[in-house]
Amino acid sequence: MSLLKEIGAILGFVAFGGLAVLVFLTFQQARHLRRLREWAGRAPELAAAEAERVSARASEASVAGTAAAPPAAEDRGPGRMERFRGEVAYRWDEANRRSPVNPLIVIAALVAVIVGVGIATSGFGLVGSDSPTETTTTESTAGDGGGTGVEVAVLNGTAPSEGAVGVVGIAKEVSADVKAAGYKIGEVETAPSFPESVIMFEDGAKSDAKQLASDLEELLGETQIELMTPEIADLSKGAPLALVIGVDDQAI
């Protein structure tokens, strides 16, 4: 559809140019016919006037008989600017006389073509970039850090044994660090007891788990990663990553 629009615009512009040329030629034909009629009507008078001028010059040459006095210094003819203007006027008249088309019309046609091309190329998009300007905005949904923005569930597994109570509030505290690292925080819950902290990942999110372990190494040290278990998946509620804080990190 875009190609058809471009072709239509080009054909319309060409048709406009052809119509303009036809109008110019019609006016020029009328102009030449008028000039021919004028020339045909004035031809005898012009011939007689030229004969009189030739006869007068011959008489003046025979009567004078002596050399004319040299011209005064201040009467040595027109200056450079006057000669230049006269030359330009002469060339213009010569071009106007010999050209089949009035030079003013030629100049006007060239201006019209340039304006038409400018309108066609900008208005119809015939020339220019084929791809629009793209603006890419990287927006972190989970803080100002350099993480991937992946959702992470932060789980408290610091209870020393099953049924015991772990460090209260540690999952919420660590979730602030995870968010600052550039991740989206998912569920913040209590998990079963884990002797060591671990990052669990769903299928396809292993590289994100490695990145999270690297981003939190200063806080948690070297953290193991492993495939997410069904129990942790239930607590994570769809998050592809789960950070389970173990007993070894209950003092952070």
- Whole-number average pLDDT of the chain: 76
Domains and CATH numbers, the chain: 2-60+83-123 (no CATH), 151-249 (3.30.70.2390)
Cross-strand partners of 225: 199
Query: SS3 for 105?
Result: helix
Cross-strand partners of 185: 152
| Of 147, 230, 131, 135, nearest in space to 184 by CA | 147
Going by their DSSP bridges, the two strands 198-201 and 241-245 should be labelled as: antiparallel
The pair of three-digit structure tokens given for residue 139, joined into one six-digit string = 């927006």
Q: What is the pTM of this model?
A: 0.44
pLDDT of 143: 44
CA distances from 9 to 19, 110, 114, 132, 149 (A): 15, 19, 16, 21, 48
pLDDT digits (tens, 9 = 90+) for 72-98: 545 555 667 777 787 777 777 766 666
pLDDT of 76: 55
pLDDT digits (tens, 9 = 90+) for 94-153: 666 666 556 677 777 778 778 776 766 655 444 444 444 443 433 434 344 556 789 999
CB 225 within 8 A of CB 199: yes
pLDDT of 158: 93
pLDDT of 44: 62
214 has a pLDDT exceeding 80:
yes
Quote the CA–CA distance of 221 and 97 in Å, as a whole number: 95
Identify residue 96 by its one-letter amino acid code. N
CA distances from 11 to 4, 5, 118, 126 (A): 10, 10, 15, 12
Residue with tokens 């512009």: 13
45 has a pLDDT exceeding 90:
no
CA dihedral 169, 174, 180, 184 (to 10 degrees): -90
CB 245 within 8 A of CB 171: yes
